[in-house]
Amino acid sequence: MTGKKPILLSAIKPTGDLHIGNYFGVMRQLVELSKTGKYQLLVFVANYHALNTVQDAEEMRQRTRELVRAYIATGLDPKEVIFFKQSDVPAHTELCWIFDTITTMPYLMRAHAYKDAEAKNKEISVGTFNYPLLMAADILLYDTAVVPVGADQKQHVEITRDVAEKFNRIFKADVFRLPEAYIMPEVATVPGIDGQKMSKSYGNTISIFASRDELAKQIMSIVTDSSGKRPENVYRMHRLVRTDAELLPLYDAHRGNYKALKELLIEDLDRYLAPLRAAYGLLKDDSSIIDDVLARGRQEARTISEAKMEEVRRTIGVY
Ligand code: ADP
Ligand code: TRP
């Protein structure tokens, strides 16, 4: 199935409703990359990463299914892409442990997520501290060539490269391939309705599958300043679906009329998202599709990762 194409691997945690930051930051480019035919795509639900925050079985189950449905609705073809759940492939946690043993605590303390928690004086779980190493295992198990991520995940890919190099050096073997992060600068950070980075943890999101009414409500509440100049927060979001050349004359014509500009944005975003919303609705009616896709993916991901684990076990002398 994977043939000789380079592997492109992506994952999202099932931790909340998908928003247009996730979509324009990662999912859309994933669909574009899949259409080039240049890569074999592996896409998984990072449910063990999510377990640090989602600690309710029903919520975990439901969000996992929603995520796979969303990926398919936004244009990934389940006949081409291998979809699976992280927890269905035991090699992820096994390799994570091996990485634990070759990584120091001071090194992991430099990770952004840890530093943020520390700055806020928050107590974090060992799982959150260790998050980057589970992610390194996710990526390295499949000889991944490319990892498309938002700018906030760049450091995790750098950590992954460090871990791969360190393992190869310690065991004097060329076991792990160094992956590249793939970040589209143009949409590197999608702003939320308050102008900060859109994130479910800031409560400033717009859902990909929001109804037109919800969309209108959220867009109307985008924060603007009262200087009378271009409302930057509205413009930045508008740029996701239209070019500068199209937008500049519109924003000139409606200078100072924020309401009119927001209404235009509602129109444009709704037109863009309507087909995705419709596809998502159709998939909701047939849940067996999702079960089949995940069962197939589980088999394929296990086969690939088990071969890599045999190589790893032999290399470290436990085989
Ligand atoms: P959140 O910040 O809402 O918790 P996640 O951390 O689950 O989102 O992000 C999932 C993926 O979507 C990541 O690869 C992340 O880089 C990307 N992403 C999330 N928010 C944005 C955003 N506002 N702009 C661009 N990409 C984003
Ligand atoms: N850490 C990523 C996020 O928060 C999710 C993730 C887990 C991931 N494992 C991965 C992304 C491997 C790419 C590759 O968005």
What would the pLDDT profile of 259-288 be if each residue is shown by its tens digit? 999 999 999 999 999 999 999 999 987 889
Query: Which residues are CB-neighbours of 296 under 8 A, at least 6 positions away?
Result: 82, 83
Please state, in angstroms and rounded to a whole number, the distance separating the CA atoms of residues 279 and 294: 19
Please state, in angstroms and rounded to a whole number, the distance separating the CA atoms of residues 113 and 21: 19
Q: Which of 44, 135, 152, 236 to mutate to test the pocket of ligand 1 (most atoms within 8 A of CB)?
A: 152
Residue-level pLDDT at 205: 95
CB 208 within 8 A of CB 281: no
Q: Are residues 61 and 210 in the same domain?
A: no
Structure tokens at 191: 């702003």
Interval between CA 84 and ligand 2 midpoint (Å) = 13
Q: For residue 304, what pLDDT band results from cuts at 50, 70 and 90? A: very high
What mean pLDDT comes out for the span 217-227? Answer: 88
Pocket of ligand 2 (CB under 6 A): 9-13, 46, 49, 135, 138-139, 147, 149, 153, 156
pLDDT tens, residue by residue, 135-189: 999 999 999 999 998 788 999 999 999 999 999 999 999 999 999 999 876 677 8
Q: Which of 41, 95, 135 to mutate to test the pocket of ligand 2 (most atoms within 8 A of CB)?
A: 135
Q: Are residues 242 and 306 in the same domain?
A: no
From the CA of 18, which ligand is nearest?
Answer: 1
Atom 11 of ligand 2: nearest residue by CA position: 11
Q: Are residues 41 and 152 in the same domain?
A: yes
Q: Are residues 106 and 244 in the same domain?
A: no
Task: Give a yes or no: residue 193 inside a domain.
Answer: no
Query: Which residues are CB-neighbours of 228 under 8 A, at least 6 positions away?
Result: 255, 256
Q: Which atom of ligand 2 is nearest to the CA of 13?
A: 5
Query: Which residues are CB-neighbours of 104 under 8 A, at least 6 positions away?
Result: none
Mean per-residue pLDDT over the chain, rounded: 94
Q: Are residues 98 and 124 in the same domain?
A: yes
Please state, in angstroms and rounded to a whole number, the distance separating the CA atoms of residues 190 and 23: 9
Output the pTM of the full model.
0.90
Q: How many CB atoms lie within 10 A of CB 55?
A: 9
Task: Give a yes or no: residue 195 inside a domain.
Answer: no
Residue-level pLDDT at 246: 96
User: What share of the chain has pLDDT > 70, as a percent?
Assistant: 98
For residue 27, give the DSSP letter: I
Interval between CA 111 and ligand 2 midpoint (Å) = 14
Q: What is the CATH number of the domain that holds 207?
A: 1.10.240.10
% helix, strand, coil for the chain, step of 5? 60, 10, 35
What mean pLDDT comes out for the span 88-116? Answer: 96
Residue-level pLDDT at 3: 60
Q: Which atom of ligand 1 is nearest to the CA of 153?
A: 16
User: What share of the chain has pLDDT > 90, as a percent?
Assistant: 83
Q: Which atom of ligand 1 is nearest to the CA of 191?
A: 23
For residue 120, give the DSSP letter: T
Residue-level pLDDT at 228: 67
What mean pLDDT comes out for the span 127-137? Answer: 97
Q: Are residues 167 and 220 in the same domain?
A: no
Structure tokens at 254: 């409606």
Q: Are residues 150 and 262 in the same domain?
A: no
From the CA of 51, which ligand is nearest?
Answer: 2
Residue-level pLDDT at 16: 85
Instruction: Tell me the residue ranges of DSSP E strands in the chain.
Output: 7-12, 40-45, 82-85, 144-148, 180-182
Q: Are residues 277 and 292 in the same domain?
A: no
Interval between CA 187 and ligand 1 midpoint (Å) = 11
CB 129 within 8 A of CB 108: yes
Short-list 153, 159, 148, CA closest to 27 = 148
Q: For residue 45, what pLDDT band results from cuts at 50, 70 and 90? A: very high
Nearest 5°: phi and psi at 147? -125, 105
Q: Is the pLDDT of residue 117 over 90?
A: no
Interval between CA 12 and ligand 1 midpoint (Å) = 9
Q: Are residues 60 and 96 in the same domain?
A: yes
Q: Which atom of ligand 1 is nearest to the CA of 192?
A: 23
Residue-level pLDDT at 42: 98
Pocket of ligand 1 (CB under 6 A): 12-13, 15, 21-22, 25-26, 149-150, 152-153, 189-190, 197-201
Q: What is the CATH number of the domain that holds 61?
A: 3.40.50.620
CB 142 within 8 A of CB 42: yes
Residue-level pLDDT at 50: 97
71-to-42, 152, 277, 295 alpha-carbon distances in Å = 12, 20, 12, 16
